[in-house]
Protein backbone atom coordinates (compact mmCIF):
# COMPACT_ATOMS: atom_id res chain seq x y z
CA UNK A 1 0.00 0.00 0.00
CA UNK A 2 1.41 3.39 -0.98
CA UNK A 3 1.50 6.30 1.44
CA UNK A 4 -1.33 7.95 -0.51
CA UNK A 5 -3.53 4.89 0.04
CA UNK A 6 -2.85 4.53 3.77
CA UNK A 7 -5.84 5.42 5.97
CA UNK A 8 -5.42 8.63 7.94
CA UNK A 9 -5.54 7.95 11.66
CA UNK A 10 -5.38 4.79 13.76
CA UNK A 11 -7.67 1.96 14.78
CA UNK A 12 -10.01 3.00 17.58
CA UNK A 13 -8.88 0.12 19.81
CA UNK A 14 -5.33 1.45 19.73
CA UNK A 15 -6.43 5.03 20.44
CA UNK A 16 -8.62 3.97 23.37
CA UNK A 17 -5.83 1.79 24.78
CA UNK A 18 -3.44 4.73 24.65
CA UNK A 19 -6.07 6.88 26.38
CA UNK A 20 -6.19 4.40 29.24
CA UNK A 21 -9.71 3.08 28.64
CA UNK A 22 -8.63 -0.57 28.43
CA UNK A 23 -6.23 -2.85 26.59
CA UNK A 24 -6.82 -3.28 22.86
CA UNK A 25 -8.27 -6.74 23.37
CA UNK A 26 -10.62 -5.47 26.07
CA UNK A 27 -11.68 -2.56 23.84
CA UNK A 28 -12.58 -5.04 21.12
CA UNK A 29 -14.81 -6.89 23.60
CA UNK A 30 -16.39 -3.62 24.67
CA UNK A 31 -17.21 -2.80 21.05
CA UNK A 32 -18.75 -6.26 20.59
CA UNK A 33 -20.88 -5.58 23.70
CA UNK A 34 -22.10 -2.28 22.24
CA UNK A 35 -20.49 -0.14 24.93
CA UNK A 36 -18.59 2.22 22.62
CA UNK A 37 -20.20 4.80 20.34
CA UNK A 38 -19.12 7.53 17.93
CA UNK A 39 -21.34 10.59 17.72
CA UNK A 40 -24.16 8.61 19.31
CA UNK A 41 -23.91 5.60 16.98
CA UNK A 42 -22.74 2.31 18.49
CA UNK A 43 -19.61 0.99 16.82
CA UNK A 44 -19.69 -2.53 15.41
CA UNK A 45 -16.04 -3.09 14.45
CA UNK A 46 -12.66 -2.43 16.11
CA UNK A 47 -11.28 -1.74 12.61
CA UNK A 48 -12.78 1.78 12.74
CA UNK A 49 -10.07 4.30 11.83
CA UNK A 50 -10.05 7.67 13.61
CA UNK A 51 -7.70 10.63 13.83
CA UNK A 52 -8.84 11.55 17.34
CA UNK A 53 -11.32 10.52 20.02
CA UNK A 54 -13.66 13.49 19.80
CA UNK A 55 -17.25 12.25 19.80
CA UNK A 56 -16.31 8.83 21.20
CA UNK A 57 -18.15 7.66 24.31
CA UNK A 58 -17.76 4.60 26.53
CA UNK A 59 -20.93 3.56 28.38
CA UNK A 60 -22.36 6.94 27.37
CA UNK A 61 -19.48 8.96 28.87
CA UNK A 62 -17.10 11.02 26.69
CA UNK A 63 -13.51 9.81 26.53
CA UNK A 64 -11.16 12.34 28.06
CA UNK A 65 -7.86 13.48 26.63
CA UNK A 66 -5.09 10.94 27.06
CA UNK A 67 -2.91 11.54 30.12
CA UNK A 68 0.83 10.87 30.05
CA UNK A 69 1.79 7.27 30.66
CA UNK A 70 1.85 6.54 34.37
CA UNK A 71 2.91 3.43 36.24
CA UNK A 72 2.17 2.48 39.86
CA UNK A 73 3.39 -0.19 42.26
CA UNK A 74 0.92 -2.02 44.48
CA UNK A 75 1.83 -4.54 47.17
CA UNK A 76 -1.03 -6.96 46.63
CA UNK A 77 -2.01 -8.93 49.73
CA UNK A 78 -3.13 -12.54 49.49
CA UNK A 79 -6.89 -13.00 49.18
CA UNK A 80 -7.59 -10.32 46.56
CA UNK A 81 -8.65 -11.02 42.98
CA UNK A 82 -6.87 -9.23 40.16
CA UNK A 83 -10.16 -8.14 38.59
CA UNK A 84 -12.52 -5.16 38.58
CA UNK A 85 -15.39 -7.14 40.04
CA UNK A 86 -16.26 -10.70 41.04
CA UNK A 87 -19.67 -12.37 40.52
CA UNK A 88 -19.15 -14.19 43.83
CA UNK A 89 -18.60 -10.94 45.68
CA UNK A 90 -15.04 -11.65 46.70
CA UNK A 91 -12.76 -8.62 47.34
CA UNK A 92 -10.65 -7.40 44.42
CA UNK A 93 -7.50 -5.31 44.13
CA UNK A 94 -9.70 -2.27 43.42
CA UNK A 95 -11.29 -2.64 46.86
CA UNK A 96 -7.86 -2.05 48.40
CA UNK A 97 -6.71 0.49 45.80
CA UNK A 98 -9.52 2.88 46.72
CA UNK A 99 -7.74 3.43 50.04
CA UNK A 100 -4.17 3.08 48.75
CA UNK A 101 -4.28 5.58 45.87
CA UNK A 102 -4.87 9.35 45.89
CA UNK A 103 -8.29 10.65 44.82
CA UNK A 104 -6.92 12.07 41.55
CA UNK A 105 -5.28 8.83 40.39
CA UNK A 106 -6.22 7.88 36.79
CA UNK A 107 -8.12 4.75 35.82
CA UNK A 108 -5.56 1.96 36.15
CA UNK A 109 -5.21 -1.47 34.59
CA UNK A 110 -3.10 -4.28 36.10
CA UNK A 111 -0.02 -5.36 34.17
CA UNK A 112 -0.43 -9.12 34.21
CA UNK A 113 -2.22 -10.85 37.04
CA UNK A 114 -1.53 -12.35 40.40
CA UNK A 115 -3.62 -15.30 41.56
CA UNK A 116 -5.99 -14.96 44.51
CA UNK A 117 -3.44 -16.39 46.93
CA UNK A 118 -0.32 -14.88 45.33
CA UNK A 119 0.96 -11.66 46.85
CA UNK A 120 3.61 -9.07 46.12
CA UNK A 121 4.35 -6.61 43.33
CA UNK A 122 1.51 -5.76 40.98
CA UNK A 123 2.14 -2.96 38.49
CA UNK A 124 -0.75 -0.84 37.27
CA UNK A 125 -0.85 1.61 34.36
CA UNK A 126 -3.23 3.97 32.62
CA UNK A 127 -1.71 3.05 29.23
CA UNK A 128 -3.20 0.01 27.53
CA UNK A 129 -0.40 -0.13 24.97
CA UNK A 130 2.25 -0.29 27.69
CA UNK A 131 0.24 -2.94 29.54
CA UNK A 132 0.12 -5.11 26.42
CA UNK A 133 3.82 -4.66 25.64
CA UNK A 134 4.87 -5.62 29.17
CA UNK A 135 2.70 -8.73 29.19
CA UNK A 136 3.80 -10.15 25.82
CA UNK A 137 6.30 -13.02 26.21
CA UNK A 138 8.05 -11.73 23.08
CA UNK A 139 8.97 -8.55 24.97
CA UNK A 140 11.07 -10.65 27.35
CA UNK A 141 10.25 -8.59 30.45
CA UNK A 142 11.43 -10.68 33.44
CA UNK A 143 9.24 -11.34 36.48
CA UNK A 144 10.82 -12.58 39.71
CA UNK A 145 9.07 -14.60 42.43
CA UNK A 146 9.98 -16.08 45.79
CA UNK A 147 8.19 -19.31 46.72
CA UNK A 148 8.09 -21.00 50.11
CA UNK A 149 7.83 -24.71 49.45
CA UNK A 150 7.78 -28.04 51.23
CA UNK A 151 9.38 -31.20 49.85
CA UNK A 152 12.68 -32.54 48.57
CA UNK A 153 14.49 -30.63 45.82
CA UNK A 154 18.07 -30.08 44.69
CA UNK A 155 19.69 -27.10 43.01
CA UNK A 156 20.42 -29.40 40.08
CA UNK A 157 16.72 -30.12 39.59
CA UNK A 158 15.95 -26.41 39.71
CA UNK A 159 18.70 -25.63 37.19
CA UNK A 160 17.09 -28.04 34.72
CA UNK A 161 14.24 -25.54 34.39
CA UNK A 162 16.57 -23.25 32.43
CA UNK A 163 15.78 -25.46 29.42
CA UNK A 164 12.03 -25.12 29.94
CA UNK A 165 9.60 -27.83 30.99
CA UNK A 166 6.31 -29.38 29.84
CA UNK A 167 3.60 -29.94 32.46
CA UNK A 168 0.32 -31.63 31.50
CA UNK A 169 0.86 -30.76 27.84
CA UNK A 170 1.67 -27.09 28.51
CA UNK A 171 5.14 -25.91 27.51
CA UNK A 172 6.81 -23.46 29.87
CA UNK A 173 9.87 -21.56 28.68
CA UNK A 174 13.17 -20.79 30.36
CA UNK A 175 13.00 -20.38 34.16
CA UNK A 176 16.03 -19.33 36.20
CA UNK A 177 15.47 -20.96 39.62
CA UNK A 178 17.71 -20.94 42.67
CA UNK A 179 17.48 -22.46 46.13
CA UNK A 180 17.73 -19.64 48.66
CA UNK A 181 17.67 -21.29 52.06
CA UNK A 182 16.44 -24.52 53.61
CA UNK A 183 15.17 -25.61 57.00
CA UNK A 184 14.50 -29.34 57.00
CA UNK A 185 12.19 -30.02 54.04
CA UNK A 186 11.04 -26.39 53.88
CA UNK A 187 12.83 -24.00 51.55
CA UNK A 188 12.55 -20.66 49.78
CA UNK A 189 13.14 -20.70 46.02
CA UNK A 190 13.66 -17.66 43.79
CA UNK A 191 12.45 -17.94 40.19
CA UNK A 192 12.75 -15.53 37.25
CA UNK A 193 10.73 -16.06 34.07
CA UNK A 194 9.44 -14.06 31.11
CA UNK A 195 6.24 -15.82 30.03
CA UNK A 196 3.92 -15.48 33.00
CA UNK A 197 1.44 -18.16 31.96
CA UNK A 198 -1.52 -18.89 34.21
CA UNK A 199 -0.31 -20.33 37.55
CA UNK A 200 3.07 -21.04 35.94
CA UNK A 201 5.23 -20.95 39.07
CA UNK A 202 2.89 -23.11 41.14
CA UNK A 203 2.41 -25.70 38.40
CA UNK A 204 6.12 -26.02 37.65
CA UNK A 205 7.07 -26.40 41.32
CA UNK A 206 4.25 -28.88 41.95
CA UNK A 207 5.52 -30.82 38.92
CA UNK A 208 8.85 -31.12 40.77
CA UNK A 209 7.03 -32.62 43.76
CA UNK A 210 6.90 -29.51 45.91
CA UNK A 211 3.98 -28.02 47.82
CA UNK A 212 3.82 -24.21 47.57
CA UNK A 213 2.67 -22.58 50.82
CA UNK A 214 3.44 -18.97 49.90
CA UNK A 215 4.17 -17.16 46.63
CA UNK A 216 5.40 -13.59 46.38
CA UNK A 217 6.31 -11.56 43.28
CA UNK A 218 9.28 -9.35 44.08
CA UNK A 219 10.09 -7.73 40.71
CA UNK A 220 8.63 -7.03 37.28
CA UNK A 221 11.20 -5.76 34.82
CA UNK A 222 13.42 -3.19 36.58
CA UNK A 223 10.71 -2.37 39.13
CA UNK A 224 10.99 -4.05 42.54
CA UNK A 225 8.66 -4.50 45.50
CA UNK A 226 11.33 -3.36 47.94
CA UNK A 227 9.97 -2.29 51.31
CA UNK A 228 6.56 -1.13 50.02
CA UNK A 229 4.13 -2.09 52.82
CA UNK A 230 1.47 -4.72 52.17
CA UNK A 231 -1.68 -3.08 50.78
CA UNK A 232 0.15 0.14 49.89
CA UNK A 233 0.64 1.72 46.47
CA UNK A 234 2.86 4.44 45.03
CA UNK A 235 3.59 6.01 41.66
CA UNK A 236 6.88 5.35 39.91
CA UNK A 237 8.87 8.41 38.90
CA UNK A 238 8.28 9.82 35.42
CA UNK A 239 11.92 9.48 34.35
CA UNK A 240 12.01 5.82 35.45
CA UNK A 241 8.93 5.02 33.38
CA UNK A 242 10.21 6.92 30.33
CA UNK A 243 13.59 5.16 30.51
CA UNK A 244 11.89 1.76 30.74
CA UNK A 245 9.58 2.50 27.79
CA UNK A 246 12.60 3.59 25.74
CA UNK A 247 14.43 0.34 26.51
CA UNK A 248 11.28 -1.67 25.76
CA UNK A 249 10.99 -0.05 22.33
CA UNK A 250 14.65 -0.72 21.58
CA UNK A 251 14.17 -4.38 22.42
CA UNK A 252 11.20 -4.71 20.07
CA UNK A 253 13.15 -3.56 17.04
CB 234, CB 228: distance < 8 Å: yes
Q: What dihedral do alpha carbons 240, 243, 244, 245 form, nearest 10°?
A: 120
Active site residue 115: yes
Task: Give the closest residue to 191 by CA, choosing from 155, 159, 151, 144.
Answer: 144
CB 106, CB 70: distance < 8 Å: yes
Burial class (CB in 10 A: 0-12, 13-18, 19+), 177: buried
Task: Give the closest residue to 233 by CA, choosing from 71, 72, 115, 84.
Answer: 72
Q: One of 3, 67, 115, 227 is an active-site residue; which one?
A: 115
CA 119 to each of CA 146, 215, 233: distance values in angstroms, whole numbers, following the listed order: 10, 6, 13
Catalytic residues, which ones?
115
Amino acid sequence: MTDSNKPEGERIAKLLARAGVASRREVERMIADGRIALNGEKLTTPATILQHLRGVTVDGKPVGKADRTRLYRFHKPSGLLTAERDPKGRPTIYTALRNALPQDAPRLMPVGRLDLNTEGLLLLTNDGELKRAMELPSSGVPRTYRARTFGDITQGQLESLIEGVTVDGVNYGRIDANLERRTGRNQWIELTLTEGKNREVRRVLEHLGLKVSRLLRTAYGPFVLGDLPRGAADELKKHEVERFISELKKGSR
